[in-house]
Amino acid sequence: MCFSDLCRVRVALRIRPKNADELAQGADFDTCVELQAECKKLKLKKNNWASESYQFDEIFGENSSQKRIYEVVAKPVVESVLEGYNGTVMAYGQTGTGKTYTVGQLGKEDPSERGIMVRALEHILSSMSLETDSMAVSYLQLYLESVQDLLAPEKTNIPIVEDSKTGEVSLPGAAIVEIKDLEHVFQLLQIGETNRHAADTKMNTESSRSHAILIIHLQRSLKMKEENTVSIPSDAEHTLPGDLPLVLKSKLLIVDLAGSERIDKSGSEGHMIEEAKFINLSLSSLGKCINALAENSSHIPTRDSKLTRMLRDSFGGTARTSLVVTIGPSARHYSETSSTVLFGQRAMKIVNTIRLKEEVDYETLYKKVEDEVDHLTSDMERQQKLRQREKMQLEKRLKVSEAFLHDLKMTSTMQIENLEKEKHQFEYAIKRLMQELEEKEGQNNVLSEKIVHLETSLNEKK
C-alpha cells in the first residue's frame, strides 16, 4: 500500500568562517556576501554597486553550530524516514567551503563537532527497536565515474540497476552492513573516510576527489511503529488482513558531493586534473537535471551520469530532500559562490512526490506460518500418540472383557447343562416315587380287602 504527498525540496545556505589565508589578509580581505539571517536572505555583491538578494529556507552564519545545522536541515528528513518515507540530505558547494565538515565530520572526541551522518545514525538508533526494527548501511564513492565501495575497497565499478516498473535504484554487490550501536557507526564511517580519495589543492588541503554517498536502509515493524506513536496518514486504510505482519521500508541517502573547482585556481596537476574533470562533469550533469526539473521540462537527463542516476529518487522522485549549499565569504570566488547560490535557488523549485509504502513482511510471515505448522505438526503428533495410547488401552480392555465374557459364557453353559442334568434326575426320581406310591396304594388296597375279609370271617365265627 502506498500513500503519497507533495513535498518541495528544502534548501539551506551555510557560510564557512574565514580560513587562515583569508584571516591573514586582515583589512584587505574583500567579501562578496552579506547575510540577513533574520529574514533568511543572502545578499551577493558582485562589486560595490551591483548585488542580488536570494531567499532560502534557512541561512546559517559562520558561527552556526553543527547541532543546529542537523536539527534544521537533516532532522525533519530523518524523522520522515523513520515514518517510512525515503529521504535525502545533500551538501553542495565549491571545494573548500565545508561540505565534508557539515556532513561527514565524525566528532568522536568532541560530540559538538559531529556532522549530519553521525547525528542521523545516532538519531535512528535511539528511535528504533532493536527487537523488531533493523538498520543497515552501504557507504559508496563515485570516483572517476566508477561506483566504489568504501567499506569493501576491493569492490569497484559496482553497477547501478534501475527497476523498469518502479524506477527504484539498487546497487547489487555493494556491501550492506547491519548496525547495532554507535561505536559500530564510528568504525564504519572511519573505514569509509580512510578509503575515500582526497588530495591537497591550493583551495583545500583535504579536497575530496569523489562524491560520497551513505545509504541507510531502515526496516520497521508497523506494529512497533504504531506503538511508538509515529503518525500514519488518516486516510490510510489497511486492505490486508489484520494478522499479516506489515513493515515500513525506507532509505536515507546522505550525500557529500565533491566540490566543483576551477583548475586554474585549485592548481590541480597530472592525475588531479583528470579527477577534477570527472567531478565537474558529474556536477554539470546534476545541474542540468536540476534545471530541467525546475522548469518542468518533459525530458530530465538523469542518465547522463552515474551521479544523476544514483540521485534519481532525490530530485523529482519520491524522497523528502533537504539540500545544504555551502559557500565561502571571499569575493575572489564570487563566480563559484554565485553558481552555488543559483543551484540552490533552482533546487528550491523542485517538488517531489514522497511516498509511504507498507509491505507485507514475508520473512516474518513465513517464520510465523512455519512456527504455526511446526506447532500444529507437534500437536498432531502428540494427539496421534495420545490416540494410539488410548487405542492400545481400549484394545487391552476389550480383550479382557472378551475373555471375561467367554469365561462367563462357558461357566453359564456348564451351569445350564448341570441344571438340565439335575432336572432330569429329579424328574426320574419323582417318577420312581410316583410308581412306588402307586404300588404302595395297590398293596394297601389288597391289605384293606384282606382286612375286610378277615373282619367278615371273624364276625361269622362269633
Q: List binding-site positions for ATP.
A: 93-100
CA distance 160 to 154: 17
Q: Which residues are annotated as a binding site?
A: 93-100
Using CA atoms, how far apart are residues 449 and 447, in angstroms rounded to an integer? 5
Give the pairing of strands 320-327 and 87-93.
Answer: parallel
Integer angstrom CA distances of residue 43 from 31, 56, 235: 11, 11, 43
CA distance 79 to 172: 27
Going by the DSSP 8-state scheme, the letter that residue 14 receives in this structure is E
Helix, strand, coil percentages in the chain from 3-state DSSP, rounded to 5: 50, 25, 30
Residue 42 is classified by DSSP as: E
Would you state the torsion angle of the CA atoms of residues 251, 182, 176, 86, taken in this order, to the nearest 10 degrees?
Answer: 0
Q: Pairing between strand 10-15 and 58-60?
A: parallel
Nearest residue to 90 (alpha-carbon basis) of 117, 63, 55, 121: 117
Q: In angstroms, how far is CA 114 from the centroid of its own chain?
A: 26
Residue 57 identity (one-letter amino acid)? D
Helix (H) or strand (E) holding 52: strand 51-55
- The CA distance from 250 to 120, in Å, is 14
Calpha distance 17→345 (Å, rounded): 22
Residue 260 has, within 13 A of its CA and on its CB side, a CA count of: 24
